[in-house]
Amino acid sequence: MSKKEPDSPLVEAAQAVDRELESFSDLAAAFRRETFATQKSIDRGGQLLQQIAEADQRLGRALTDLVQAIGVARDEQAARAEAVTARARELQQRDATLRELLARYQALGDVAARVNDAVRTLAASESASQQDAMASALPELIASIAKAADAGQEIAAAAEASGFADLARDAAGLRQQLLGAKNKMALLQKRP
């Protein structure tokens, strides 16, 4: 058998107001029914009037408690709303950081694709004139790859520092691919 969770102070205060309203209503109805035709009826009417006054005081206290409970609930809700707003701002900042890092990573991926194409073209060069043209472009291409690999390292470090471990891992992997391509180019440059 599970225990019933206690009602919130707001619910308890509202239930107290409801009970006191019902009590007041019952007493008022009984008072209205009195005929005041006999001594006993007049005495009962006096007692009912005293009970109505007491019920009215209890109702006033219950209403005060309800207003206080509403104030507390409003303050708690405002605090929660502030916390949600702060987290929403954090989400926006994290999203902006991630988008900026992803844009840099995408640009690096584009560079890596162009480098791979260049490496394949160089490796497939068969004519002497093609090989000479490619050989003269190698130093600049190797420097560009080195610069791209450095950018990959910067992206990986920034992603790691920002808590985006998966992007840091991907950027580090892309950097390794670029370094591999750079090494292939360096070998091609040494080729006779």
Q: Each residue of 61-88: pLDDT tens digit?
A: 999 999 999 999 999 999 999 999 999 9
Establish if 2 belongs to a structural domain: no
Residue 175 pLDDT grade (very low, low, confident, very high; cuts 50, 70, 90): very high
Same domain, 133 and 168: yes
Produce one character per residue of 102-122: b if its CB has 16 or more CB atoms within 10 Å, e if not. eebbeebbebbeebeebbeeb
Residue type, 119: V
Establish if 4 belongs to a structural domain: no
Q: Is the pTM of this model over 0.85?
A: no
Same domain, 74 and 141: no
Instruction: Answer yes or no: are the C-beta atoms of 170 and 152 closer than 8 Å.
Output: no
Is 2's pLDDT higher than 60?
A: no
Q: What is the pLDDT of residue 190?
A: 73
Q: What is the pLDDT of residue 115?
A: 79
Same domain, 178 and 106: yes
Q: How many domains does the chain have?
A: 2
User: H or E stretch including 104?
Assistant: helix 39-124
Same domain, 16 and 58: yes
Each residue's pLDDT tens digit, 138-169: 788 888 889 999 999 999 999 999 999 999 99
Q: What is the pLDDT of residue 132?
A: 72
Each residue's pLDDT tens digit, 91-119: 999 999 999 999 999 999 898 888 778 77
Of 84, 99, 126, which residue is a domain's last? 84
Could you tell me the residue range of the domain that residue 142 belongs to? 91-190
Establish if 67 belongs to a structural domain: yes
Q: Which of 161, 56, 151, 44 is nearest to 107 (CA)?
A: 151
